[in-house]
């Protein structure tokens, strides 16, 4: 547990608060839906999917959020504009939770944001993400659309150290920093993703979270699930059938203990496993912060009040 000396910025996205000192606000948990090869999707180009199963998954995540006090956010993925827009319209009708607008292609993300602006969902949308060396056309489009919230991916191809991640945010190698580019795009609510590539890099990403919060005071987190789901040896069962979900929860908890304000925990199907673990640790760290640092949770919906027995 720690207390950051830098004043911490807190952003409110449709009622969900990102940022702050340890124990101040619960960790935001972000589950991914409509991801590549998701079984509920039958046509990823046109956005054809099993609506009943998708709604059930979204409701299950919200159920766990209500039980633990950890806010639930959706990471909506689509690599075709038509599909991503359909997914967003569906999710927005099923839940009031904020959502990430996620695609590997910038033009798909921008087109989805254009639709979001037209239908009045901008206050719930989080652009995911502004990456290293974005095109000027992307920055201009986001500014024109008045995008309010976005993730900045602190990936530095030249320097993979925690300090290297900070450099790409602040600017280095005669390049403008990603934070300045995000502000140029008009994004006021900045969330910093410290970029996980493989299992070993989770430690660097977690340390980078500490640096971001200590030096910049911005909300920070990452997606350790990316590495766990791609860990071939683990998926082959070399540590047994329960190892995958144990390691997934463990990696998420590790980043939390390093100060993470949000965690992309992976496939939304894992909500039942990840939420209890994160809720428990949130409750423990908040209790410590209250007793030692005099930092109290700002809401009675915090896990400290929901998880512990009264």
Pure H helices in 120-193: 136-145, 162-170, 178-184
- CA-CA distance, 97 to 44, in Å (whole number)? 23
Residue 270 main-chain phi, psi, to 5 deg: -90, 10
Q: Are strands 41-43 and 28-33 parallel, antiparallel or unpaired?
A: unpaired
The per-residue pLDDT for 176 is 84
Annotated domain spans of the chain: 10-305
Written as six digits, the tokens of 21 are 């000192």
Residue 143 main-chain phi, psi, to 5 deg: -65, -45
Written as six digits, the tokens of 211 are 């640096």
Q: Are strands 41-43 and 220-222 parallel, antiparallel or unpaired?
A: unpaired
- CA-CA distance, 56 to 70, in Å (whole number)? 19
Classify 10-305 by CATH class: alpha beta
Instruction: Label residue 173 by pLDDT band (50, 70, 90).
Output: low
CA distances to 175, 209, 210, 211 from 215, in Å: 20, 10, 8, 6
Written as six digits, the tokens of 109 are 């993300």
Q: What is the pLDDT of residues 191-233, one digit of tens each?
A: 999 999 999 999 999 999 999 999 999 999 999 998 999 998 9
Distance linking the first and last C-alpha atoms of the chain = 23
The per-residue pLDDT for 172 is 67
Q: What is the pLDDT of residues 52-70, one digit of tens each?
A: 999 999 999 999 999 999 9
Q: Are strands 125-130 and 99-102 parallel, antiparallel or unpaired?
A: parallel
- CA-CA distance, 116 to 107, in Å (whole number)? 14
Whether 133 has a pLDDT exceeding 90, the answer reads no
Task: Enumerate the β-bridge partners of residue 75.
Answer: 32, 100
Whether 1 has a pLDDT exceeding 90, the answer reads no
Q: CA-based angle 158:164:169, to the nearest 5?
A: 105
The per-residue pLDDT for 287 is 95
- CA-CA distance, 277 to 202, in Å (whole number)? 18
The per-residue pLDDT for 174 is 56
How many helices (H) and strands (E) would you count in the chain? Answer: 12, 12
Bond into 49 cis (ω within 30)? no
Radius of gyration of the chain (CA): 18
- CA 273, 275, 276, 280 torsion: positive or negative? positive
The per-residue pLDDT for 235 is 81
- CA-CA distance, 67 to 255, in Å (whole number)? 22
The per-residue pLDDT for 49 is 98
């Amino acid at each position: 547990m720690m207390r950051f000396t830098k004043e911490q910025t807190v952003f409110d996205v449709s009622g969900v608060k990102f940022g702050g000192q340890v124990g101040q606000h619960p960790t935001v948990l972000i589950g991914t839906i409509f991801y590549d090869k998701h079984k509920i999707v039958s046509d990823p180009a046109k956005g054809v999917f099993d609506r009943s199963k998708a709604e059930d998954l979204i409701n299950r995540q919200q159920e766990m959020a209500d039980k633990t006090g950890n806010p639930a956010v959706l990471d909506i993925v689509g690599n075709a504009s038509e599909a991503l827009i359909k997914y967003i319209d569906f999710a927005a009708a099923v839940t009031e939770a904020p959502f990430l607008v996620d695609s590997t292609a910038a033009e798909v993300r921008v087109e989805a944001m254009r639709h979001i602006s037209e239908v009045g969902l901008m206050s719930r949308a989080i652009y995911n993400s502004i990456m290293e060396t974005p095109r000027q056309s992307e920055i201009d489009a986001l500014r024109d659309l008045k995008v309010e919230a976005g993730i900045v991916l602190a990936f530095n191809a030249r320097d993979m150290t925690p300090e290297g991640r900070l450099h790409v945010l602040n600017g280095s190698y005669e390049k403008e920093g990603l934070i300045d580019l995000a502000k140029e795009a008009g994004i006021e609510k900045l969330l910093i993703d410290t970029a996980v590539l493989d299992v070993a890099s989770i430690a660097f990403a977690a340390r980078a979270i500490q640096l971001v919060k200590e030096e910049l005071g911005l909300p920070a987190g990452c997606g350790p699930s990316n590495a766990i789901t791609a860990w071939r040896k683990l998926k082959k069962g070399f540590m047994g059938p329960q190892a995958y979900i144990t390691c997934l929860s463990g990696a998420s908890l590790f980043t939390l203990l390093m100060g993470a304000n949000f965690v992309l925990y992976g496939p939304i199907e894992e909500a039942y496993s990840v939420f209890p673990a994160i809720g428990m640790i949130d409750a423990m760290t908040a209790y410590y912060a209250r007793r030692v640092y005099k930092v109290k949770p700002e809401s009675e919906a915090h896990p400290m009040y929901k998880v512990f027995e009264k």
